[in-house]
Amino acid sequence: MGSFSLWHWLIVLAIVVLVFGTKRLGNVGKDLGEAVKGFKKGMRDDDDDRPAGQLRDESRRDDTRQSTEEKQDDRNPR
């Protein structure tokens, strides 16, 4: 009683096709697919457009350590 059978869904689908027509339903499906693709592309591009300060860059950490060590060596010559 809680769920509809296959026949109920087929009747609903037939009514929807009669009301809207196959051409309009095809356009809606195409537009929905393009919107999903655009959203996914936007999410990928968002990661690429981050400023350099927000990107994880291990080499910058190594450069910071080296410059700190060089400064300490300049202060305490051997």
8-to-11, 13, 16, 25, 44 alpha-carbon distances in Å: 5, 9, 12, 20, 40
Q: What is the pLDDT of residues 48-59, one digit of tens each?
A: 666 655 555 555
Report if pTM > 0.85. Answer: no
Q: What is the pLDDT of residues 18-76, one digit of tens each?
A: 998 988 888 988 999 999 999 999 888 866 666 655 555 555 555 555 555 555 555 66
In the block, tokens 């309009």 appear at 24
Taking the alpha carbons at both ends of the chain, their separation in whole angstroms is 88
